[in-house]
Structure 1
Amino acid sequence: MRLRNVPGADAYLTAHPLVIKNETRYRGTWKETFQNPENPIHIEIGMGKGQFLLTLAKENPSINYIGIERYSSVLLRALERFDNDEEYKDVNNIRFICMDATNLPEVFAVGEIDKIYLNFSDPWPKARHAKRRLTSKQFFERYDKILAFDGVVEFKTDNRELFDFSLEQVELAGWVLLAKTYDLHNDPTLSRGNVMTEYEEKFSGQGHPIHKLIAMRQ
């Protein structure tokens, strides 16, 4: 996937106080970084323009959130939303990292993360790229290294092929499927309290059903 470079994005991220630089130095000390070590930490991998995670951070001040985005030009948009929207002016339980998710075990220690959100991830449609999908067995192995004992992964997508692939990978990885739906917005249980992403609003508005699964280790 090729994204347009945004001039000044890297400088903006470097100067921003909530964007973590040299993130591997924080491994094992993330709770102390938030200065409230009793609170759980949830991360979103591929946070896009930030609507989902910023909403959660605002609504749940007793949970710490870390947004992970690979592309500086995309993370820039999330930061601009955070900095310029008055509704987030009192939100202080969120941090941001610009990094590739393949490096998760180098950034977070064993058991340090309580929940992982994956929303509308890149489907990497070519078969030879399957291991790059964030719901591949290879990535579940990475999640295994950072999740707490009872930690969970929540995944949403409108891509049926990717969702079916993900269900298969949950089983292959030896994880347990706690819940699934092929039509989230019409599911009386899983739709309760659902926070939509930008993509979710767009795709559901076009009539695409949204799929969701929740998985944890055995």
Structure 2
Amino acid sequence: MRDIKKREARAKADNLLRQPGAEEKLKATLSLPGVENELNKLKKTVINTTLLNEQFTVDGFHQQVAGDEPYEMIHIASHGIFSSNADDSFLMAYDNVIKLDDLETLLKQDKGAQRGIELLTLSACETAEGDDRAPLGFTGAALKAKARSALGSLWPISDEAASQLMANFYTNLTQHLGKAEALRQAQLKLLHNPKMSHPFYWSPFILVGNWL
């Protein structure tokens, strides 16, 4: 039943993307209220540069990633869609979309790309879902761009759950836990929350690449 619903949702998304002005319609109608809260929490732990709302443009993101200062960690909290068509797979920026192939190209331009970004976190829906063309979706693209590890999701996620899990995940990293253990502990914290105990909330998140 779940697979049928996912196929129906994917078909609707694919159909919408083919309509004139589809990207603008998506930007206008889809919102993630928890993103600002999520980033505010992360500022207290690891984030030193933030692109929020109108600052998170495709060019702004490109300038930061390809700038003189290499980043060990990159965290993207947005809306994502993975499709069987590469041109229809994207993360939403404020002014446009970052397509799957574009993300890989951008990450390869990072000044730290030769040694590899330590962690790319994609706090968005279905960023670890893939197919034969693009195994592991956006997280797989990150690994191809020499990121040492990537954190993504296997299906649509709760905005509130993602905000809580990411805050706990990064807090755990500051306590010198490995990335896999930091994620496990963050998932357990959601599991023990009566409002978030259903697997829908805590189980879609997956870490690929280097777990340490």
Q: TM-score, normalised by structure 1?
A: 0.44
Q: TM-score, normalised by structure 2?
A: 0.45
When you count strand as a share of all residues, which structure comes out higher?
Answer: 1
